[in-house]
């Protein structure tokens, strides 16, 4: 995971992106006439209106296009963990250029289906392996060069980045990871055997291989953030250190602080 940079930004040509929800569309109309927004292909930054899901979609679109620019989200969704507070009127350039930035590296995933098809995916939050039928999944877990669990019997298993550790991973009783910890969470979902295994925290330099046992009888799907592949035979995961995404946050509202604060929520 990359470290936080403190150098000042000099953004001049942001673009304005919005989800298709009613709240986000109203905000888009409010902000559209307040600035001379650049087309996406010419922009040096993006103001993203919506929720966490739309931010993830936007970041994935950047990865797919090969053109990654800093993203400043404003929350018009539910949780808004990756977003800033929405203000109807704003000094766009002033707020962007005062923002703190955080570079995050996604997971690079190579998935092989039962038919032998190979797929390359990225996950910013997590990769989940989930059973497709009433049958529990059986998964062999390899970390580094060693098989660590020969047969994990469960509803599924997920690998979460620090940025995604407060999402599905936390709901599955996985650990919250500091953003600069350079570790990944390997978290089982409703494990049946080994009964006492509750997951692992792993150095993010280690490659992880999840091999599906009895894949025809016990089919599983792989879900990388918002993209799903079914009838998986094996997935290989590692941090994509050569691919970084940049999120922008208002001063005092950094992603690191949100991850720390989440560990003290008592209600």
CA distances in angstroms from 226 to 115, 164, 189, 254, listed in the order given: 22, 13, 18, 24
Whether 155 has a binding-site annotation, put simply, is yes
What span, in angstroms and rounded, lies between the C-alpha atoms of 159 and 199?
Answer: 10
What span, in angstroms and rounded, lies between the C-alpha atoms of 43 and 131?
Answer: 42
Whether 167 has a binding-site annotation, put simply, is yes
Whether 171 has a binding-site annotation, put simply, is yes
Whether 30 has a binding-site annotation, put simply, is no
Whether 20 has a binding-site annotation, put simply, is no
What span, in angstroms and rounded, lies between the C-alpha atoms of 2 and 70?
Answer: 14
Catalytic-residue membership of 20: no
Whether 163 has a binding-site annotation, put simply, is yes
What span, in angstroms and rounded, lies between the C-alpha atoms of 128 and 140?
Answer: 14
Whether 136 has a binding-site annotation, put simply, is no
Whether 170 has a binding-site annotation, put simply, is yes
* Marked catalytic residue, from 20, 36, 44, 52: 52
| First-residue to last-residue Cα distance in the chain | 30
Whether 28 has a binding-site annotation, put simply, is no
Whether 52 has a binding-site annotation, put simply, is yes
Q: Which residues are annotated as a binding site?
A: 52-53, 125-126, 155, 163, 166-171
Give the catalytic positions in this structure.
52
Q: Which residues are annotated as a binding site for NAD(+)?
A: 52-53, 125-126, 155, 163, 166-171
């Amino acid at each position: 995971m990359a470290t936080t940079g403190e150098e000042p930004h000099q953004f001049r040509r942001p673009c304005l992106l919005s989800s298709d929800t009613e709240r986000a569309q109203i905000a888009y109309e409010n902000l559209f006439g307040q600035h001379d927004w650049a087309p996406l292909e010419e922009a040096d930054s993006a103001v993203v209106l919506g929720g966490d899901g739309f931010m993830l979609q936007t970041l994935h679109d950047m990865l797919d296009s090969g053109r990654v620019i800093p993203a400043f989200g404003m929350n018009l969704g539910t949780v808004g963990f990756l977003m800033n507070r929405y203000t109807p009127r704003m000094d766009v350039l002033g707020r962007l250029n005062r923002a703190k930035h955080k570079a995050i590296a996604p997971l690079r995933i190579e998935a092989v289906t039962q038919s032998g098809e190979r797929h390359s995916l990225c996950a910013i939050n997590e990769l989940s392996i989930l059973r497709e039928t009433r049958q529990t999944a059986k998964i062999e877990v390899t970390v580094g060069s060693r098989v660590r669990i020969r047969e994990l019997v469960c509803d599924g298993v997920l690998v979460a980045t620090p940025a995604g550790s407060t999402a599905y991973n936390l709901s599955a009783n996985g650990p919250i990871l500091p953003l600069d910890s350079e570790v990944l969470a390997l978290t089982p979902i409703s494990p049946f055997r080994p009964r006492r295994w509750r997951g692992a925290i792993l150095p993010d330099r280690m490659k992880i291989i999840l091999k599906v046992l009895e894949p025809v009888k016990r089919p599983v799907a792989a879900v990388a953030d918002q993209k799903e592949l079914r009838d998986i035979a094996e997935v290989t995961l590692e941090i994509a250190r050569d691919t970084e995404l940049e999120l922008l946050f208002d001063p005092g509202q950094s992603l690191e602080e949100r991850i720390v604060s989440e560990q003290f929520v008592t209600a």
